[in-house]
Amino acid sequence: MKLLKTFLVVGCFFLLSHQSSAQARIDLGLKGGLNFSSINASASAVQNYKGRTGYHVGAYVLVKIAKFGIQPEVIFSKQGQTYSFPGNSNLQSNFDYINIPIMLKLYLAAGLNLQAGPQFGFLANSKGDLFNSGTSTVSTGQNLNNFVKSSDVSLGLGVGWDLPFGLNLTARYNLGLSDINKYTGGSIPGQYTSSLGTSQAKNQVFQFSVGYRLFKIGS
C-alpha cells in the first residue's frame, strides 16, 4: 500500500503541475496481447526453468495532461513456467492472475511514451504438476493454490506508441518484487514438490499488447 500511495502522489503531482497550461483528456479502451512468462528463481535453480507463452486481455483508462498521463488497467493474465525436476519429467505450472497495473506515462514525440509503475496481482486460478517424493510419481493438472500465494506485486517498465485512430502498441516487462512461493523449495515437507522447485520464486513477464481506444473525453 505504501508503494501505491507514493506512486499516486507522484503521478498526481505531475498531472496537477501541468493542469493550468493544458486540458485533460480521458481515454477508455481495451487491450490484449501475448505473455512470455517465467520465474526469477535462485541462481542454483535458474537453469532448470523454461518460459511459457500465454496471453492477456483487459481494459484501461488513460488520464493525460500535456506530456504526462496515468493509466490504470484491469488485466486477465495467463502466466506460468516449466520446471525440469532432476531425474523426472518436466513439471508445468499455469497461473491465472487478475492484474491491476497503474502506469505513469511520459510522452515524447509522435505518440511515443515511456511507462513505469506498480502492478498488483491477484491469483484467480493455479493448476500444474506435482511430484510425490514418497512414490516418485508425477500428478498432472493439480490445484496449486496450496503452493502459490494469492497476491503478487510487480514493477512494470515499458514503452508505448499511440497511433492515430485510437490504436496503441505497448511492450512491457513486469518484474516480480514479491516471493509467490508459500513453501521453501515449493515443497510441503515429506509430501509434494510443485513446479516452483526453488527457495524463492518471483514472476517475470514480457508483454506485447495491442490496444484500441473506444471513447475519448477532452482534447
In order of their start, the domains of the chain are 2-217 (2.40.160.20)
Residues 6+ apart with CB under 8 A from 148: 95, 123, 126, 180, 181, 182, 194, 196
Share of the chain above pLDDT 90, in %: 51
- 3-class DSSP state for residue 169? strand
Q: What is the pLDDT of residue 185?
A: 47
**What angle (nearest 5°) sits at the alpha carbon of residue 52, between those of residues 50 and 54?**
170
Average pLDDT score over residue span 169-174:
98
Q: Which of 113-127, 142-156, 201-215 has the lowest mean pLDDT?
A: 142-156
Share of the chain above pLDDT 70, in %: 75
pLDDT band at 179 (very low <50, low <70, confident <90, very high): confident
What residue type is 68 in one-letter code? F
Which residue's C-alpha cell is 492515430? 164
54 or 51: which carries more pLDDT confidence? 54
CA–CA dist 90, 85 (Å, integer): 6
pLDDT band at 53 (very low <50, low <70, confident <90, very high): very high
DSSP letter for each residue of 34-56: EEEEEEEE-TTTGGGEEEEEEEE
pTM exceeds 0.75 for this model: yes
Q: Which of 43-57, 118-132, 200-214 has the lowest mean pLDDT?
A: 43-57
